[in-house]
Structure 1
């Protein structure tokens, strides 16, 4: 599997604690090889907490904003472990912890009277609302004081949850660290970073990018090869959405350039199984496979040995944000969002189309047998130039998934190559279409395949290309081959 989308994890901070001279009882801290969460039986303060945001809310297991301890100034949140435990770490989740850093120190006591510092003044990361764990001086203690010193914006101390970690009779098997509902700085609810190029969110090591321009003036479309793509972003055509972290493909015909065999414009990824190894050619012009491309499982055995993969599946989670509204009625509103391309033909082109008068769009695909006319398969709505608003259509900005898959299936004792396309809505409903490619001419020694994904506009007639464009945002992209 080549393409994955990461998920956010809580920010971990390790601070250097200063061991201090404690009483004989406190110095009895033993070795603890298996650090566990420790039960906190009570939390108290001096009673000056804000409104209903009392100390008990810092140990109630909830990471909701309304369940927090808040108190202004240098204030103490005291924790009772019930009896002495070996304390090795403290965990704190701060209200607005993804927006600001908070200062604090930690003290410990066996008897609740004599306290000694186990963590000198520390500061949170300012990156997450999940629990951040801090090392403290190993200490045998029943009572822990978290001394709040305000945050970088104000004198307020606001703690969502506090944990203690170590060994003793109060060990817990597990405890929620808040990471599942955490708000993390520069990480969207999709688990994608909003401040990095697309390749930092998506594994694009097996793709190159085609842009709809010729900025270097060499008479060809600009292509960003695999290695260069890893740090590449383009504010006009290919970038990270600052709100969602999604990978944005935008295509316009303004001052544009097309590939040699097309009259349409694209911002589109082209699968490159070689993964940046330029000793392997992009393709063999005679059509024989190489390690950069793949073949069907019904291809000759020799072709399968030469290819970089056999059969394939591409999965994507995406939303179409905008389509063209002006121009030729037979072209307006069309954009290709995924493909399998062969040497000369296209086993599948997956279309989204929304007409200007409609609030929802259609999904359909074209299958092109070698040297023959396209076969059209409608999945959601109609591809007609005058289609009515599809009752089950997909609106702009609506998130959905597609899967394009090839495999072989036995029919009357013979292996047939099968193309299957599935559309999945956010509510889990699916629409699937299969096409038998046995007579399509792709199971030969002289053909190969590769996936494409992005925004390939199918309208080159708009009179206002600067404002009338196609835009597609991907949130997940995944490819597999046998």
Structure 2
């Protein structure tokens, strides 16, 4: 009888122990599942999203992107360096405003006026991908814009675009910046950009044929290599600073309220080569961007698109777009992807609402 009782007790204890262990496993699994599902939002990595509206690579204005992600275009990644905010844009899809190009990009919700400005944007980033296809003769092929100053008024031109560009087969790409003239008069079709190299080449270095590439830049930046830009506009002057480990620090200055391009004789040689042959030969109003509200942009503004180079040899890349199918473009490298590690913005007291820009462009 004693043996039976002892056996029953032992069986009971063993069953109880198994149930307890299973319960612990289930509880641990629940905790693991919960941990795995936790989303790290971009606004936790770079807490400055109150200053921006986010436009996605499908043309949608997602608004102020606190505690927001979109797995196709805007999310976070983690590597040995920590957390990063990812901006991704295909070669083709729905676009924002009147642009031919897709973007996943932040647009500042306030605008400021260059003459009275005391505003600053800085960011540390790495470009992870540029389009695998595109006509090598087209200057914008294989390029992405990672930071801008944009006008909110009149022609809505861009006194600053910061580019990264890398040709297929090259290890290193180029970083350069553009100034776009604020065209005199009502007709903006004659506008053009002037490109300045930071590391590597400027915009004008292109292939001789659609599938041959120029020499790789010796002092360029590789995909996945970090660099930092700082943009400050104060009292009408734009100051730029570019830094990257192992590269020379570069600084530039540009007057935004007094033009140096007011006559045809002022058009630089680079512009004569790139833009004048396609009819973009305008001049700038003497006061440049004086009196126009300007604002910062940051993200991935893909410069490669599927439009025929016959339309515009500088901006229409003839790249693969798979009819706008985003996933197919992502599968074979036809997109731009930029990761930001840190960023900060300083907004002057004189800045005002930029809502008019978004209301004009959100539904075009």
TM-score by length of 1: 0.48
Flag the structure with larger Rg. Answer: 1
Q: Which one has a larger percent strand, Structure 1 or Structure 2?
A: 1
Q: What is the aligned partner in structure 2 of residue 242 from structure 1?
A: 78
1:318-346 superposed Cα distances (whole Å, 9 cap, x missing partner): 00001112022213211000000012111
CA distance in 2, matches of 1:224, 1:313: 24
Q: What is the aligned partner in structure 2 of residue 448 from structure 1?
A: 293
2:220 pairs with 1:378: no
Contact persistence 1:209–1:270 (CA under 8 A): yes
2:149 to 334, 340, 346: 340
SS at match of 1:200: helix
SS at match of 1:351: strand
2:61 to 223, 226, 229: 223
Contact persistence 2:125–2:340 (CA under 8 A): yes
1:141-195 superposed Cα distances (whole Å, 9 cap, x missing partner): xxxxxxxxxxx9xxxxxxxxxxxxxxxxxxxxxxxxxxxxxxxxx9xxxxxxx94
Check 1:245–1:379 CA distance in 2 against 1; reply closer, same or farther (3 A cut).
same
Shift of 1:418: 2.0
CA RMSD of aligned residues (A): 2.0
CA distance in 2, matches of 1:479, 1:428: 24
CA distance in 1, matches of 2:197, 2:249: 14
2:216 to 364, 367, 389: 389
Shift of 1:428: 7.2
1:428-465 superposed Cα distances (whole Å, 9 cap, x missing partner): 741112223311634533x1011000000000122152
Shift of 1:426: 2.3
TM-score by length of 2: 0.63
Q: Which one has a larger percent helix, Structure 1 or Structure 2?
A: 2
CA distance in 2, matches of 1:326, 1:402: 27
CA distance in 1, matches of 2:72, 2:302: 15
1:293 to 93, 111, 119: 111
1:172-219 superposed Cα distances (whole Å, 9 cap, x missing partner): xxxxxxxxxxxxxx9xxxxxxx94110122121111110121xxxxxx
Q: What is the aligned partner in structure 2 of residue 196 from structure 1?
A: 40
Contact persistence 1:195–1:242 (CA under 8 A): no
Q: What is the aligned partner in structure 2 of residue 110 from structure 1?
A: none
1:313 to 105, 120, 139: 120
Q: What is the aligned partner in structure 2 of residue 432 from structure 1?
A: 251
Structure 2 residue runs without a partner (length 5+)? 1-27, 29-34, 184-190, 208-213, 260-283, 307-318, 322-328, 349-364
Q: What is the aligned partner in structure 2 of residue 471 from structure 1?
A: 337
Contact persistence 2:91–2:336 (CA under 8 A): no
CA distance in 2, matches of 1:242, 1:345: 35
CA distance in 1, matches of 2:290, 2:141: 36
Shift of 1:380: 1.5
Q: How many pairs are equivalent?
A: 242
Q: What is the aligned partner in structure 1 of residue 106 from structure 2?
A: 269
Q: What is the aligned partner in structure 2 of residue 176 from structure 1?
A: none
Matches within 5 A, 1:45-194: none
The answer to which structure, 1 or 2, has the higher relative contact order (CA under 8 A, 6+ apart) is 2
2:226 pairs with 1:407: no
Shift of 1:373: 2.3
